[in-house]
Structure 1
Amino acid sequence: MLSIASRAFKTTSFKPIVGSLSAVRTKVTLPDLPYAYDALEPHISGEIMEIHHKKHHNTYVNNYNAAEEQLENSFKANELTEQLRLQNAVKFNGGGHINHCLFWTNLAPQGQGSATPTGALAEAINKQYGSFEEFQKQFNAAAVGVQGSGWAWLGLNKQAKRLEIATTSNQDPLLHLTPLLGVDVWEHAYYLQYKNVRPDYMNAIWNVINWETVAERLSKA
């Protein structure tokens, strides 16, 4: 179940060219979902999932590949200004690709797997937040509190050996923690079904969280 997210972090390979900062990069591709578009209904509609995957995620893939190609050409031409200009496009679209690859595997049809965390993940959540319900409450508050567009995360702080809730803006990936669970709170993830009521979307999404993949990421981290 982790194949999509794993491939996202391995899609770019770097081959230095002697005497310059140029690099040869492989393209990223849009992954297939591990379930049908309508498999998460009634909590997330099939229409939302199809548009989100085919349109939004695919746009990040295409724009990232285009920006990477332009960046490679700017390296070859030794155009420093152009290299700097392209960094935002690479970060935004590359982050959008990585974040969505993880997001798709964070979801599963209701009834598939455990409805709540179990094992070491449950123990870690209870240790940090007191209970799963309190964790949900704090996570929802962070997600609803994101101004504009962004993501809400549960991550592992390896140095402190604890779980932490975090948010990122736009398509910024989670870099200071090891991501375990990410929820997209851009309006395109829920507007067709929940309009502008993000709290309703957050309450519904807990029904289709794939806790098995979250637990696997924790064990591997």
Structure 2
Amino acid sequence: MAFELPELGYAYDALEPNIDARTMEIHHGKHHNGYTTKLNGAIAGTDLEGKSIEDILGNLDMSNGAVRNNGGGFYNHSLFWSVMNPNDKGRLSGELKDAIDAAFGSFDAFKDAFSKAAATQFGSGWAWLCVHPGGKVEVCSTPNQDNPLMPGVTCGGTPILGIDVWEHAYYLNYQNRRPDYIEAFFNVINWNEVESRYAAGK
């Protein structure tokens, strides 16, 4: 089965004013769709065809640029859409809150660390909150479409929250004000989804 562009689960304008409808339309319908199509082309007829995206990325030959870039782009964006929600966002609580407090000291300190990782990622890339086996969490960033599932990436674990800091994710609305976009992202985080991912990954 070929990979398919996932549905958002909400309208393109649902995250306004934090993320504008036109950016969402282009980001999902053009960029993510492009990664999906190119990933399918890159794995067609190879032994990667039919494998899960997690299996593909976790055992990736990092010299395979087509699969690295497009597989990463497919996975990263799929996570990105799911960890945002305009309505039923929940709130940080339970074991994930305890893990964040243990790792960072407080939610505010975590927010600062995550925001710094996103703001200081040079050029294009992502910032992540990851969970390690046993439940410890870590913040890190990766360039381009790399992610913590890939071999040799400096931060490990399973991504449970990610923010896209490629310019196409925010430039129409925020221009060069990446920190403003990062601050707005915290208004739409779907903590129910992040907590579910934490429980599955620890």
Question: Shorter-chain TM-score: which interval?
Answer: 0.7 to 0.9
Change (3 A) 1:135 1:63: same
1:96 is paired with a residue whose SS is helix
Which residue pairs with 1:113 in the alignment? Answer: 89
Q: Which has the higher helix share?
A: 1
TM-score, normalised to structure 1, is 0.78
Pairing 1:31–2:6 present: yes
Q: Percent same amino acid at aligned positions?
A: 48
Matching residue's letter, 1:31: P
- Highest Rg: 1 or 2? 1
Please tell me the residue identity of whatever aligns with 1:195. Answer: Q
CA contact (8 A) 2:89 2:189 kept: no
Q: Which residue pairs with 1:63 in the alignment?
A: 38
TM-superposition CA deviations, 1:142-183 (whole Å, max 9, x none): 111101100100001226x41100111101122221111011
Greater Cα offset, 91-100 or 170-179: 170-179
| Distance in 2, Cα, partners of 1:85 & 1:105 | 26
Match of 1:89 in 2: 66
CA RMSD of aligned residues (A): 1.8
Q: Which runs of 5+ in 2 are unaligned?
A: 48-60, 150-155
CA displacement 1:26-85 (0-9 Å, x = unmatched): 31111111111100000000111111000000000111111122657xxxxxxxxxxx89
Query: What letter is aligned with 1:134?
Result: A
Q: Distance in 1 between matches of 2:33 and 2:112?
A: 32
**Structure-2 residue corresponding to 1:19:** none
User: Whole-Å Cα distance in 1 between the matches of residues 45 and 29 of structure 2?
Assistant: 24
Structure 1 SS opposite 2:130: strand
- 5+ long unaligned stretches in structure 1: 1-25, 73-83
Tell me which residue corresponds to 1:131: 106
Normalising by structure 2, what TM-score?
0.85
Aligned residues: 182
